[in-house]
Structure 1
Amino acid sequence: MNPQDPKSVLHHYLTAAREALVWKLEGLTEYDVRRPLTPTGTNLLGLLKHLAGCEVTYFAFTFDRPFDEHLPWLADDAEDNMDMWATAEESREDIVDLYRRACAHSDRTIASLDLDSPGIVPHWPAERAHTTLHAVLVHMIAETQRHAGHADIVRELVDGAAGLLEGKLNLPNGDADWWRNHHDRLERVAREVSGRP
């Protein structure tokens, strides 16, 4: 990253968020990457599939840089929420590889355009559909980080694994007892403040 180059800085933060998200799937079973862990069905593989579609929408469609693969969940007549889960026919490898290909395509778009290059986001309201690469980069950093945060929570619910990346956890170095005590302390404070026994 070149801190003097705004595009380089934005691309760096997008890349870091992408890597964190993919890492959240590592070491898990097929069941664990697919299982819904919230009432709305949030699951790790679905988050990655959703973001593959976002990469294509925002960096391919917006800047008229065709992506050679058809993503049926992006069609106007697609089933609601189809982008947020993987079908039985879509393997983990299919989704991870698609995400990597979509990101590589996005990276080529980012490299070839200037920050003020114009684009049109097809699904945004007309009054704000006209945009720039700069705005799209900021939007995709926010979108990817938001879903990486979802993945953090979902992964912790699956097997307790937490942190930013392997070897870069960004968490205190507590062992299982330290974290259990920390959790229990927070529970006690929440009960005390709310007046619960």
Structure 2
Amino acid sequence: MDERELKDDLHGYLEGARAALLWKLEGLGEYDVRRPLTPTGTNLLGLVKHNAGTHLGYFGDVFGRPHDVPLPWLAGDAEPDADMWAAADESREDILELHRRAREVADATIGELPLDAVGRVPWWGDGAVTLHHILVHVTADTQRHAGHADIVRELIDGSAGLLPGHGNLPAGDAAWWAEHRARVEAAARLATGG
């Protein structure tokens, strides 16, 4: 496999992870894309906002590629974790546009630099990294957050799966899933003597 094929392969996995994350917003109302469903506040729109910042940091700043995308959550007076949720004055469209622009910055870096291009990650102690390393890292991070989004979406409306038309789950109706869940619960109780 030559460099172009390897880069295309890696980029394809990143694009698949992005698509899985964004799909979890589809068909939901404004409250559902924003509401926190874990004790730490995990929510769908916040995951997309955070992912946009990750793309801009790793594919922009790390490789010295300036962008004009404001990231107010990086300001010294910003609230901790401000990149993980949408403020009331940030619309879904604002965050989707932020994500689109971040993807453009990332895709330009991926397209224009060789895989062995060297960047520096100041928040990692300023160590040198390659574009190859960052592509793998950001893909893994995006997949991780797509998994979070999958669980949050399932908690909202029961919708689960990888992508539209490709659920990546066993076929089963609501009754089958209820029985399956009961089997898993029973096994957990038996394993712990309960």
Residue identity in the other structure for 1:138: V
8 Å Cα contact 1:3-1:9 kept in structure 2: no
Secondary structure in 2 matching 1:131: strand
8 Å Cα contact 1:49-1:95 kept in structure 2: yes
Secondary structure in 1 matching 2:60: helix
- Residue 165 of structure 2 corresponds to residue 174 of structure 1: no
| Distance in structure 2 (CA, Å) of the matches to 1:20 and 1:36 | 19
Deviates more, 1:106-115 or 1:65-74: 65-74
Secondary structure in 1 matching 2:129: strand
- Matches of residues 1-197 of structure 1 in structure 2 within 5 Å? 5-126=5-126, 129-196=127-194
State the Cα distance separating 1:4 from its structure 2 match.
7.5
| Distance in structure 1 (CA, Å) of the matches to 2:76 and 2:57 | 13
State the Cα distance separating 1:193 from its structure 2 match.
1.3
After the TM superposition, which parts of structure 1 deviate over 3 Å for at least 4 consecutive aligned residues? none
Unaligned runs of 5+ in 2: none
8 Å Cα contact 2:69-2:98 kept in structure 1: no
| Distance in structure 1 (CA, Å) of the matches to 2:21 and 2:159 | 13
- CA RMSD in angstroms, aligned pairs only: 1.5
Residue identity in the other structure for 2:109: T
State the Cα distance separating 1:78 from its structure 2 match.
2.3
Q: What's the TM-score, normalizing by structure 1?
A: 0.94
8 Å Cα contact 1:24-1:151 kept in structure 2: yes
8 Å Cα contact 1:36-1:43 kept in structure 2: yes
Unaligned runs of 5+ in 1: none
Q: Deviations over 1:46-70 (max 9, x none)?
A: 0000010000000011111111121
Q: What's the TM-score, normalizing by structure 2?
A: 0.95
Report the count of equivalent residues.
193
Q: Deviations over 1:91-113 (max 9, x none)?
A: 01110111011112110110000
| Distance in structure 2 (CA, Å) of the matches to 1:78 and 1:174 | 45
